[in-house]
Amino acid sequence: MTTSPSFTWTSDEEPARSFPSGATYVEALQNTALCFRGTDLAGAEVRVDALGRPRAISGNFAGVFSLTVADGTRYAVKCFTREVREQATRYRAVGEHLARLDDDWTVGFDYIGRGILVEGTWYPVLRMEWVEAVNLVRWIERNTDDPAALSHTATRFARLVAELAAAGVGHGDLQHGNLLVCSDGSIKLVDYDGMYVPALAGLPAAETGHRNYQSPDRTAADFGPDVDRFSSWVVYLSLVALATDPSLWRQLRDEDAEHLLLAESDFADPTGSFRLATLTGHPDARLRGLAERFQDILLHHRAAPPPLEPLEPFDVVQPVKAPVPVIAALPAWMAERVQAQAHMPAPPPLVRFNRRTPALTVLTWVLLVLLLPFGVPAAVFVDEAMAIVDVSAVLAWTASTALGYRRQPEHSRARAARAERKRLVRARLAAAAHLTRLNLEARRIAQEAERSKAEQQRSRRTLQQRHNQRLGTHQRAVDEQLQRIDRDRQASAARMHLEEQRILVVRQKAHLRARLALFPVKTAGIEGMGPVLTANLEAVGIRTAADFVGVRYAMHGANRVAFFVLVDGSSVRAAGIGEVKAARIDQWREHLTTKAAGSGPTSLTPAERQILKDRFAAEKAGLDAQYEQVRNEAERTTRELREVLRAEQAALADELKAANTAIARTRVDHDRAVAEAAVVLERARQAAAEGVAQADAFRPVTYLGYLRFTATGRS
């Protein structure tokens, strides 16, 4: 029901360049008069989102926008976000090839080289007819309860695959997003970016398709009419499985997952795949067969899968155009399933015996009529021989009825059904026990993760503490050293000060001597000091006030004698100078001394001080250098300690990362195991309930039931 697809072509070759992003297109499309200036789409109305901005449907390398032109025609306009080599050539070839086909899966398009103006540059667009349809996943979501519709779609899909093969076309990216189901049930194939048509032979693939639909072995070199083989198996098997058992939709995939019933991990590891195992172990033989075939492909022909092998020749199925009764249009493998499912809740009818052995019936009645009323009392009261006969008869009857019961065909079926029930119930119990174990395990894993988290925080803290400790020790040592140097510096300064004082004292003494030397004794006019006594003083070396420093007295016999203390500390006696005169002379000196001291130096001259400073400079410089050195070394050590900390932190980070990776893997594996175990349990419950119902149908098939049937013909 395509609207006359048109495949036209307008283009110029584009050089390699970077393309606008999705949001840049959204910006440009806010003014369609401008961005489509001079094209058929100029001024078209673009569908907007809640914010009033053009609403995109984004793929990996393009965004699609809905545009409605003045005459009401609606288009899907695809804007590319990356340059594809030979895109124009590819679309031209695809367009020309599809135009020759009469298949209803095609959607018409025009590739327009000068399609949209974005920030001053023209980029190509693909203008496609708008298809009212939903993608396969959404369609399945709406139809999970409709096995008939699902089986239709499976058949339609198989036909689509055959049509592609017949036309020599490879879509390149068969997946749910590119398979649209229309309201009439027909399937449209969209997104021809990666399509192969014979004219493109020799080129590499423009893309390698959706990871959940492609063989892990597929490369860009795989580009030809067979490119869809793998994905068609994936889609078809999923559709057949869902038509057979809709609960698989919920059981084998997460809500919102981007795949049908199988995904990349199943293709990569088919032997470890739970999903595949569920399909190959399915109770439905035809589904099982199809799944086993696909498993075989995965194991042995993954790189070069065979063409799809649909369950029934699909040309047998009549396309549903008129409202034909649904079941009539179903393939044979499906019809009975649908019918069966229609009355699924009703239990199977009771199985009854239907092969009666007349001889046994007669014998039974004889025994009943004769033996019970007469035989037993006779045996008890009349005769032992009679009793033996009776017992033998009863034994013979029992043996033959038991044998008859065992020979009934219902008997072996009932045994089989009961054994199956036992097996299934056991399987259910085992599945429940397994899930319980896993749930307990979950608690352990959670505790382990918590413990590990706490442990990691502790490790980090410990590392920091150790660093702080090292840093503290280092800083204390440095402080001590610096304090010592400081003390040395202070001591040096103190020594310099003392030296200054000492020199000053020397200077002051020299000044004093020089001053005192200016005052001879002979001109001093000291009372009683005539020329003779003055000469006597001179004789002991005392000419001026500078020649002695004091007077001391000593007892000489009964007399106190005065001694003059000379500058060199020695004492002399001067003839004729007694205690009184000596005291006078000393007073004179004291007086002069006091006068001289007032005029003496109070500090060193700048020159003297400089000399002193120079003397101490080397010492101070040495200490300052030591101080700087200690400080520099301390900084270097601090840096080194920080480097050590960083190295330790980096090593710890690697360690934690490894530990956390292990935890994450355990959790992922465990989560998967739990999810799978839950599915196994659900399926085991289903199977067990069915097994119980099947076995229950054989309720009448018992030995007693058989006896009643033998006797009365009713069971």
Binding interface with other proteins (CB under 8 A): 18, 21-23, 25-27, 30-31, 34, 37-38, 49-53, 55-60, 63, 117, 119-120, 122, 134-135, 138, 175, 177, 210-212, 254-258, 264, 449, 456, 460, 464, 642, 645-646, 649-650, 653, 656-657, 660-661, 664-665, 667-668, 671
Contact (CB, 8 A) for 5 and 107: yes
Q: How far is the CB of 63 from other proteins (least distance, A)?
A: 7
Q: How far is the CB of 308 from other proteins (least distance, A)?
A: 23
Q: How far is the CB of 123 from other proteins (least distance, A)?
A: 12
Q: 31 or 439: whose CB is closer to other proteins? A: 31
How far is the C-alpha of 192 from the C-alpha of 178, rounded, in Å?
A: 9
Q: How far is the CB of 82 from other proteins (least distance, A)?
A: 8
Local structure of 520: helix, strand or coil:
strand
Q: 203 or 449: whose CB is closer to other proteins? A: 449
Contact (CB, 8 A) for 598 and 515: no
**Closest to 560 in 3D by CA, of 577, 540, 584:** 577
Q: 198 or 272: whose CB is closer to other proteins? A: 272
**Closest to 578 in 3D by CA, of 549, 538, 543, 537:** 537
Q: 56 or 235: whose CB is closer to other proteins? A: 56
**Closest to 303 in 3D by CA, of 358, 227, 369:** 227
Q: 228 or 586: whose CB is closer to other proteins? A: 228
> Which residues, in sequence order, are CB contacts of 230 under 8 Å at separation 6+?
213, 214, 215, 218, 297, 302, 305
Q: How far is the CB of 17 from other proteins (least distance, A)?
A: 11
Cβ burial of 232 (10 Å; 0-12, 13-18, 19+) is buried
Q: 231 or 408: whose CB is closer to other proteins? A: 231
Q: How far is the CB of 478 from other proteins (least distance, A)?
A: 20
How far is the C-alpha of 156 from the C-alpha of 103, rounded, in Å?
A: 12
Q: 22 or 520: whose CB is closer to other proteins? A: 22
556 φ, ψ to 5°? -125, 100
Q: How far is the CB of 60 from other proteins (least distance, A)?
A: 5
Q: 137 or 546: whose CB is closer to other proteins? A: 137
Q: 102 or 255: whose CB is closer to other proteins? A: 255
Q: 60 or 318: whose CB is closer to other proteins? A: 60
Q: How far is the CB of 661 from other proteins (least distance, A)?
A: 5
Per-residue b or e along 659-673, where b marks 16 or more CB atoms closer than 10 Å to that residue's CB: eeeeeeeeeeebeeb
How far is the C-alpha of 270 from the C-alpha of 291, rounded, in Å?
A: 11
Q: 46 or 320: whose CB is closer to other proteins? A: 46
Q: How far is the CB of 162 from other proteins (least distance, A)?
A: 26
Contact (CB, 8 A) for 196 and 227: yes
**Closest to 711 in 3D by CA, of 205, 245, 366:** 366
Q: How far is the CB of 690 from other proteins (least distance, A)?
A: 30
Q: 209 or 305: whose CB is closer to other proteins? A: 209
Contact (CB, 8 A) for 95 and 200: no
The H or E element containing residue 45 is strand 45-46
The H or E element containing residue 126 is strand 121-129
Q: How far is the CB of 105 from other proteins (least distance, A)?
A: 19
Determine the angle formed by the axes of helices 409-517 and 579-599, rounding to 10 degrees: 120
Contact (CB, 8 A) for 100 and 168: no
Q: How far is the CB of 158 from other proteins (least distance, A)?
A: 24
Tokens for 55, please give them: 């609403």
Q: 597 or 650: whose CB is closer to other proteins? A: 650
* Pairing relationship of beta strands 62-68 and 45-46 according to DSSP bridges: antiparallel
Contact (CB, 8 A) for 312 and 333: yes
Q: How far is the CB of 157 from other proteins (least distance, A)?
A: 20
How far is the C-alpha of 588 from the C-alpha of 593, rounded, in Å?
A: 9
Size (the chain), residues = 715
CA 169 vs. chain centroid, Å, equals 40
How far is the C-alpha of 48 from the C-alpha of 67, rounded, in Å?
A: 10
How far is the C-alpha of 336 from the C-alpha of 571, rounded, in Å?
A: 151
Tokens for 36, please give them: 């489509």
Local structure of 599: helix, strand or coil:
helix
How far is the C-alpha of 364 from the C-alpha of 708, rounded, in Å?
A: 10
Q: What is the DSSP string of 663-687?
A: HHHHHHHHHHHHHHHHHHHHHHHHH
First-last CA distance in the chain: 60
Q: 105 or 122: whose CB is closer to other proteins? A: 122
Q: 64 or 545: whose CB is closer to other proteins? A: 64
Rounded (5°) CA angle 136-139-144:
115
Determine the angle formed by the axes of helices 147-167 and 229-244, rounding to 10 degrees: 160
Q: 140 or 551: whose CB is closer to other proteins? A: 140
Tokens for 697, please give them: 């149908």
Q: How many CB atoms lie within 10 A of CB 308?
A: 20
Q: How far is the CB of 449 from other proteins (least distance, A)?
A: 7
Q: How far is the CB of 114 from other proteins (least distance, A)?
A: 9
Q: How far is the CB of 493 from other proteins (least distance, A)?
A: 38
Q: 445 or 482: whose CB is closer to other proteins? A: 445
Q: How far is the CB of 196 from other proteins (least distance, A)?
A: 20
Q: How far is CA 189 from CA 71, 144, 169, in A?
A: 26, 21, 12
